[in-house]
Structures are given as structure tokens and as C-alpha cells.
Structure 1
Amino acid sequence: MTKIAWVFPGQGSQAQGMGVTLQETEIGKQKFQQAEEILGWSVLEICEAGDERLSQTLYTQPCLYTVECILVDLQKQEGKQPDLVAGHSLGEYVALYAAGVYDFAEGLKLVKRRAELMSTAAGGKMVALMKFDRNILESAIASEDNVVIANDNSEGQVVISGKPEAIDIVLEKVQAKKAVELNVSGAFHSPFMAQAANEFTQVLDTITFKDAQTPIMSNVDPTPSTSASAIKQRLIEQMTGGVRWREIMLNFPHQGITEVVEVGPGKVLTGLIKRTNKELNLSNISA
């Protein structure tokens, strides 16, 4: 029996022209118009221009959320439904929409505020590491109070986040074959986002979450859940907690998943899954 998971990419998967053809659909027209009313600017315009704004957190996150939600609607219009959903960082907000936890507008309001808070964060940095010794990395982080693993993407790829000087010490100890500093304003998915998380919680408190119609594997807890209260609590923790994507991928077979569909621009997540779970059937839906 085929069991399908839908996964949704986050910041970093954006690309010029993403979603532009979706304006030709009735669902796309409605969602783009609704997004413009909420945001005060045009998602279509930003995606079409593909200038520096598309790489700025303030614009990137609402654009990705809107485009991916339209793709979800189009899939459901064709009668397709997932058995499980998960999203990477920002993508988790689309997963919640796909699972019926909140409506499009409520989700976009959350994403808008999240993007505002993250874009004003300062004083930290994030570095992606490839080809490293995980034991050495974990030991180095354990000895430094001001660095955490922000994104555990796969066995051979992580992103560390924290204070710049502490990250430099960890990098010196780990000697990864490749280390790339990310173009972000702060130490996302780390305890240094605590103030932003507190402010974000105030917005979350104004929105009523429904129990999920489809189980969700959260970034901070890869155990499937449909509980509205558990899902909201996990979303609060996501701003200061790490993205446990490696564990999510490893959990797919244990949940009986045989096929994974990446819904959104690019193929970042299917690339990670392909190297981790070779037995799963993978496909992409983008626009």
C-alpha cells in the first residue's frame, strides 16, 4: 500500500519566476490577491522581478508560503491528499496549512510577523558545514555555550548557529571540508532568538489552531501529531530550536511512508532524502 508524505522547502529554495504561472489558475489569482491585501505588497511582483528583495527574509518567507500554499490547493483540487506532512523551517507553516490547522490568511499573518522578527534579529551568524566528523562537531559544540546545531539536514550536512566568535572556535576544531557562512541577519533556530520567540508567541496566541487532518512531523519533534495544542507548542519552540530534518527523513519508513513529494520550488529536500532513504520514491511539484 502506498503511503505518501508531502514535504515543503523553506528559505533558500526561492528562485526568480517561482509561482508566476500560478496566476493563470483561479486558485492562484485568489491567493495572490489575498496575500497582497495582507502584506501590502505583491508576491507576484517580487517573484517575477527576482531582485535582491527575493533573498531578503522579509519578502522570501511570505513569497514561499504563498506559492507553496497555492500548489497545495491545486493538488487537493485534483483529489490528492498526503498521509503525512512535514516542512523545513518556514516550510512547516505550509505543512500546517496543508493539514488544515489554520486557513491561508491566518498562516500568512504568522509568516509575515515571523519574517519581520527574524529580519530584525542581529548579533549572530549561521554557517553551513559539509563533510565533517560528526563526533568532533558534537564534542566541539558541547564545549561552547554559544553555538548550537540549527539545521541537522543530513548525516553530512548541518548548519550551526550562534555568536560569531564561538562559531569561529567550533569551525577551527571541526575543520570541515566545506564551510559556508549564510547570508542571514541573526542566529536563527538558536536560543539567541528567545526575544523574537516571545514576541511571536503573542501573535500565535491570537490564532486558534485546529487539530490536524493529517499527521505532522515537526522540526523540533519528528514524532507525528494531530493535536492542535502540541502543534502550536512545537511551532513556538521552532524559533529557538533546531530543525531536526535528518530525524524526520529517517522516520519516514517507520511511519510506513513509501513515497515523498516535495511541494515547492527547487529540489533541496528530495536531494537530502535521496541520499538518506534510497528506498523511497521521490517526486517534485513546483511552478
Structure 2
Amino acid sequence: MKAYVFPGQGAQFPGMGKDLYENNLKAKDYFTRANDVLGFKITDVMFEGSEEQLKQTKITQPAIFLHSVVLALTTDEFHPNAVAGHSLGEISALVANGTLAFEDGLTLVLKRALAMQHACEINPSSMAAVLGLEDAIVEDVCRSIEEEIVTPANYNCPGQIVISGTHKGLEIAGEKLKEKGAKRVVPLAVGGAFHSPLMQPAHDELEEAINATNFNAPKCPIYQNVDALPYNDVESIKKNLIAQLTAPVRWAQSVANMISEGNDHFVECGPGKVLQGLIKKVDRSAKTESI
């Protein structure tokens, strides 16, 4: 069975989506509608902008969402048995499986991006990738740091966890993790501690927006980040989407659960091939491809 997966922030690149826009009339319509919804021409930045311009919060998340969703919705053979998205990609997945209308999903993504940026300004913070340690060791180290906030944020694949926290918390954690045998602790070029308690201001802003948005019954289950389990009921989906901003992304567990339930063929919808690489590290026998 096929599961379609959608990437999160960091997958952007200059020129993204331009071929789709120029060669597919249906795709062009989605891009045009997106410009109207956002109130500015995101296509100008996606197609002609620089890497620096694409890194702007209000550009990055809508751009990745747009590229991912348009790929899915304009592909004739798009018939998923399940969907999942990494962080931001969860909203893309919810549009792809019919839970959210295109315009509603894009509006939520923009509000999410701006809310996260606001939270970053309130609480200066960041993230770091920890390579080569078991999950339990990283969790224990984070729990041991009581004087600062630092917590697991992304369970990407075996041996790769991203942690989020205050700058001091990450510094202390990095030293302790290296003492525990981490191969590397790599600071990430991000604006804040995503998927941690430091995102509570964004959680509160987005909760109101999600509760005011119409959600439809999905056409197939979505494996959600907060607990890596499949959901079909709207109220649970909304609750999990709200919780996602301050909870870790359990990507490795989501992939393992999808595979255990028969979804052994993964199709990545969006820029890049990062998710395919992570999926292969969870299970080398899984079949992966891109649209």
C-alpha cells in the first residue's frame, strides 16, 4: 500500500515550483489562488527569489506547503492509503487527504508561520541535531537539565534526534551528550525552539485559528506527529494539530507504524528527498520515490 509523505521547513530551494507553474494549467491555477489568499505574490519569490528571501518565515512555510500540495493535487495517480507530514508537512497532508480545503490549509500555514516567528521573538532559542545516540539517552540528558528548557523535538530516524531549547540549555545539553558518546551535536540555523514548550505563544495563537477552520472527514487516515498513530476523526485530528507546536515530531515512530500496518511504499510530495532518506534509515526494505 502507498503512503504519501510531506516535508517540513528546510526543504525549500530557489526556483521551486516554477516547472509546475509553467507546464500544468491546473497547477498554475493553484499558484494564482495562493497569491490571492496570501495577499502577495509568493510565486515571485519561489520562482525568482534568492535563498535568503526564501528563508523568510512568511515565505518558507507557505512555499513548501504550496509546492507539496500542488504536486499531490495535480498528479493523476494520487490515491493514498495513508498520509503523514513532518511538522509543517502535516497541514499539507491534511489538504491532500481532503480534511482541509486548499485555501484553508494555506491560511493556516501562514498563520502558523507568523505565530511561530512571534514566539521566537518572545523567547530567543534554537535547535540542534544529535547524531549517534539512542533516544532514551538523549531524553535522560534533557530531563537532567532543570535550570534551562531543552527537550527532544524531532525523532527523525534511529540515531538522529533534534533537540530544542534555550541557547544556554542547548549548550549544556551538547556538552553532556558528547560525554555520553554522541558522534556530533550540530547547531541548526533556525530562528527558535520549534516543537518545545517555548512555542506555547504560537500554540495559543494557532489553537484559535484551527478551531475557527472547517475540517472535513478525511479520505484516508493521517499518521500524526504527536503520537505517530493514524486518525480519521476530525476532533482528534484538530486536537493533535494544535498540540503539535509544543510536542515532539515522532517521525521515526510514524514511519515504523505505517510499515507495520502494510504501508511499505512511500511517495514524497514536495521539494527535496529528505523524508525518503529518513524512511530508509527506519527500514531499509521500504520502497520510496518522489512525485
TM-score w.r.t. length of structure 2: 0.93
Tell me what 1:169 maps to.
172
Map residues 255-270 of structure 1 onto 2, 5 A cutoff. 255-270=261-276
Tell me what 2:208 maps to.
202
Q: CA deviation at 1:135?
A: 3.9
Alpha carbons 1:188, 1:240 under 8 Å: kept: yes
Counterpart selection for 1:250 from 253, 256, 268: 256
Map residues 1-287 of structure 1 onto 2, 5 A cutoff. 3-24=1-22, 25-48=24-47, 49-75=49-75, 78-120=76-118, 121-122=120-121, 123-145=124-146, 146-175=149-178, 176-285=182-291
In the superposition, relative to structure 1, how do residues 182 and 80 fare at CA in structure 2: closer, same or farther (>3 Å)? same
Q: CA deviation at 1:67?
A: 1.0
For residues 94 and 135 of structure 2, the distance between their equivalents in structure 1, rounded to whole angstroms, comes to 31
- What SS does structure 1 have at the residue aligned with 2:223? coil
Alpha carbons 2:135, 2:161 under 8 Å: kept: no
- What SS does structure 2 have at the residue aligned with 1:252? helix
For residues 171 and 282 of structure 2, the distance between their equivalents in structure 1, rounded to whole angstroms, comes to 29
Q: CA deviation at 1:57?
A: 2.0
Larger mean Cα displacement after TM superposition, 49-58 or 103-112 = 49-58
For residues 169 and 51 of structure 1, the distance between their equivalents in structure 2, rounded to whole angstroms, comes to 31
For residues 140 and 205 of structure 2, the distance between their equivalents in structure 1, rounded to whole angstroms, comes to 33
- What SS does structure 1 have at the residue aligned with 2:263? coil
Q: CA deviation at 1:133?
A: 4.7
For residues 184 and 215 of structure 2, the distance between their equivalents in structure 1, rounded to whole angstroms, comes to 41
Alpha carbons 1:96, 1:216 under 8 Å: kept: yes
For residues 254 and 229 of structure 1, the distance between their equivalents in structure 2, rounded to whole angstroms, comes to 25
For residues 40 and 248 of structure 1, the distance between their equivalents in structure 2, rounded to whole angstroms, comes to 35
Alpha carbons 1:110, 1:203 under 8 Å: kept: yes
Larger mean Cα displacement after TM superposition, 8-17 or 123-132 = 123-132
Alpha carbons 1:133, 1:174 under 8 Å: kept: no
Q: CA deviation at 1:204?
A: 1.1
* Structure 1 letter corresponding to 2:126: K
- What SS does structure 2 have at the residue aligned with 1:5? strand
Q: What is the count of residue pairs matched by the alignment?
A: 281
Q: Deviations over 1:125-167 (max 9, x none)?
A: 1111222354432221121241111111011111100111122
* Structure 1 letter corresponding to 2:9: Q
Runs of 4+ in structure 1 off by over 4 angstroms are none
Q: Deviations over 1:184-217 (max 9, x none)?
A: 2221100111111111111112112112111000
For residues 85 and 211 of structure 2, the distance between their equivalents in structure 1, rounded to whole angstroms, comes to 22
For residues 193 and 136 of structure 1, the distance between their equivalents in structure 2, rounded to whole angstroms, comes to 24
* Structure 2 letter corresponding to 1:28: A
For residues 138 and 189 of structure 1, the distance between their equivalents in structure 2, rounded to whole angstroms, comes to 14
* Structure 1 letter corresponding to 2:52: E
Alpha carbons 1:136, 1:173 under 8 Å: kept: no
Superposed CA RMSD in Å reads 1.3
For residues 134 and 264 of structure 2, the distance between their equivalents in structure 1, rounded to whole angstroms, comes to 30
In the superposition, relative to structure 1, how do residues 138 and 51 fare at CA in structure 2: closer, same or farther (>3 Å)? closer
Q: CA deviation at 1:228?
A: 0.5
